[in-house]
Amino acid sequence: MADWHTTVTPPALARLLATARLPDPATARRPAYRTLAGQIRLLVTDGRLPVGARLPAERELASALELSRTTVATAYETLRGDGYLLSRRGAGSWTALPEGASPPGDALHPVPPDEQGRILDLGVAALPAPQPWLGRAAARAVELLPHYAAGHGHYPTGVPVLREAVARRYTERGLPTTPDQILVTTGAMGGLHLVQRVLVGRGDRVAVEAPSYAHTLQALRLTGARLVPVPYTSGGGRARWDLEEWQRVLRGAAPKVSYVIPDFHNPTGALIDKEQRRRLLAAARAAGSIVLVDETTAELGWGVPESTPLPRPMAALDRSAQVVTVGSAGKLLWGGLRIGWVRAAPALVRRLATERVYSDVGTPVLDQLIAAELLGEPLPEVRAHQLDRLRATAHAFAAALSERLPEWSFPPPPGGLALWVNTAGLSGAALAQAGEHAGIRIAAGNRFGSDGAFEHHIRIPLTVPAPAVPAAVERLAAVADRAAAGGRLVPADEGQALAV
Ligand SMILES: Cc1ncc(COP(=O)(O)O)c(C=O)c1O
């Protein structure tokens, strides 16, 4: 065992615990220490708490959770007995897995290639590469590479041709942009992480949509930000921001940053109209909150008629340089390129570039050249190809779900990567666990909430090819039957079993 461990602070663990609701039968009439031990074990087994993470001392955790020290001590003792915690006098306690346990399954981690035949992956929301365009762009990039190979190959702000291509695309979408406003990053995730590191301090409040993109929520939690969730409302059958609530949160909590996904939101697919964008920006300006706009899914409007103009990027409405935008080639082009970007004022771009020199230095040149190629002439064809695929899969899911699982519901989205499905009272966590046993990876709704909300939701990504959708829904229905019946039993502490 290494001597160094990630340290989880008491508030960070308290926030994670709030997202780890156990199925009801597991918590009813159980002593508090068993619930606490069960929650920590759940966080470890589904990968939200890394193996080897140092947990807070008993006294500190007891005070953060307002529990007695005996409760925390007994929970730790239970976890130690089950092999989920190791302790050494003077060194603390850190999470572990019992001998012989399978590694943590995380619905949002990709199924490894050698298991893809066995496991149906309804976790990761990213499409295969568009072919033959990717192959052609890669060949062209290899031709261009010798020109770059003559130098050191480090481009902290990005290779100029890609910065230009991204700036041009913003300009085409109605937001005039120059290359010095663009910083190329290693995926949108790299951009979000960098912005977070520079702009968000430990303990700062960050307002987030509820639901929101699970990985950002988790990254924010782990850096010690305090999340303030702001719900969606569904007026006229479509999801919209609850602006009154946004105004209340911005006035009352004064969040340092407000993180939003206004275009084909992940996970709901919602598209926010111009008026809502304008009003949220005005409220954020009055509160001095930086608006971090995640446009990773912005080009995925497969349900919007060609003739309907899309709202311009949110930064086009920004009069006080208060918007920082993050984008990605990962959904429209290919996730395997790991290309993303930040669009911001040139001074902030320079500051972020200085900061990233201490992490990944830059993004691989070859991948940047491929992305620049794809963002050029082939883009309209590539985009049409990806949107056709998403649309066909969405329609196939809508038909198969209404036939096999008619009590489940979802607002038909105008675009995006997923369906956000209400499972009519069935626990998403229970479905995910039953799915693990049945070889189907399911993303439980509570991963997309900041406080354990959305227990009765799952996210179904539009990644299965349309012809394979009926069989996928058939398997989903079998898992739902099993979960509804109390289904498979997973081992729990002290010989008890949790129904999942
Ligand atoms: C809203 C949102 N932001 C960021 C990301 C991460 O994108 P990337 O693969 O470019 O890191 C995703 C991927 O699903 C996403 O949906």
* Dihedral sign from CA coordinates of 107, 110, 111, 117: positive
Tell me, what's the pLDDT at 493? 34
The class that CATH gives domain 10-103 is: mainly alpha
Cα dist. 8→14, 51, 61, 117, 204 in Å? 10, 12, 10, 36, 17
* Count, residues in the chain: 500
Count Cα neighbours of 209 within 13 Å in the Cβ-side half-sphere: 29
Residue 58 or residue 90, greater confidence: 58
Could you please report the per-residue DSSP string of 304-318? S-TTSPPPPPGGGG-
Q: Mean of the pLDDT values across residues 172-183?
A: 97
Provide the 10 A C-beta neighbour count for residue 110: 14
Q: Which residue from 213, 390, 459 has its CB within 8 A of the most atoms of ligand 1, so it is best to mutate?
A: 213
Residue 383 neighbours by CB distance under 10 Å: 18
Question: For 381-404, what is the mean pLDDT?
Answer: 98
3-state secondary structure of 370: helix
The span from the CA of 257 to the CA of 451, in Å, is 18
pLDDT at 1: 36
Q: Is the pLDDT at 488 greater than 70, yes or no?
A: no
| Ligand 1 pocket test, candidate residues 328, 342, 420, most atoms within 8 A of CB | 328
Quick check: 201 and 371 in contact, CB under 8 A? no
Kindly list the domain boundaries of the chain, sorted by start residue.
10-103, 113-125+381-490, 138-376
| Residue 237 near residue 212 (C-beta atoms within 8 A) | no
pLDDT for residue 452: 61
- Tell whether ligand 1 has an atom less than 6 A from the beta carbon of residue 330: yes
Is residue 263 a contact partner of residue 413, using CB atoms and an 8 Å limit? Answer: no
Q: Please give the share of the chain, as a percent, with pLDDT higher than 90.
A: 70
Ligand 1 midpoint to CA 296 (Å): 6
- Establish whether residue 125 lines the binding site of ligand 1, counting it when its CB lies within 6 angstroms of any ligand atom: yes
List CB contacts of 237: < 8 A, sequence separation 6 or more: 411, 412
Dist CA 54 CA 495 (whole Å): 26
Instruction: Output the CA torsion sign for 193, 198, 204, 208.
Output: negative
Q: What does the pLDDT look like over 20-54, one tens digit per residue? A: 666 555 556 788 999 999 889 878 776 667 777 88
- The region of weakest confidence among 67-76, 204-213, 230-239 is 230-239
Is residue 2 predicted with pLDDT exceeding 50? no
Residue 247, both tokens? 């105004």
Q: What is the mean pLDDT of residues 125-154?
A: 96
Question: Which architecture does CATH list for 113-125+381-490?
Answer: Alpha-Beta Complex (3.90)
Enter the CATH code of domain 138-376: 3.40.640.10
Query: Who wins on pLDDT, 116 or 37?
Result: 37
Tens digit of each residue's pLDDT (9 = 90 or more) over 311-329:
999 999 998 879 999 999 9
pLDDT of residue 371: 98
435 lines ligand 1 (CB under 6 A): no
Q: What is the 8-class DSSP label of residue 326?
A: E
- The amino acid at residue 190 is G
Tell me the backbone φ, ψ of residue 251, rounded to 5 degrees: -70, -45
CB distance 78 to 27 below 8 Å: no
**Average pLDDT value for residue range 356-384:** 96
Mean pLDDT for the stretch of residues 120-148? 96
Atom 15 of ligand 1, nearest CA residue: 296
Q: Does an H or E element contain 92, and which?
A: strand 92-95
Q: Band of the pLDDT at 103, cuts 50, 70, 90?
A: low
Cα(17)–Cα(1) distance, rounded to whole angstroms?
A: 25
- Number of helices (H), then strands (E), in the chain: 16, 17
Confidence at residue 374, expressed as pLDDT on a 0 to 100 scale:
98
Q: What average pLDDT does range 385-405 have in this prediction?
A: 98
Q: Indicate the residue type of 116.
A: Q
Residue 90 pLDDT grade (very low, low, confident, very high; cuts 50, 70, 90): confident
Q: Whole-number mean pLDDT of the chain? A: 89
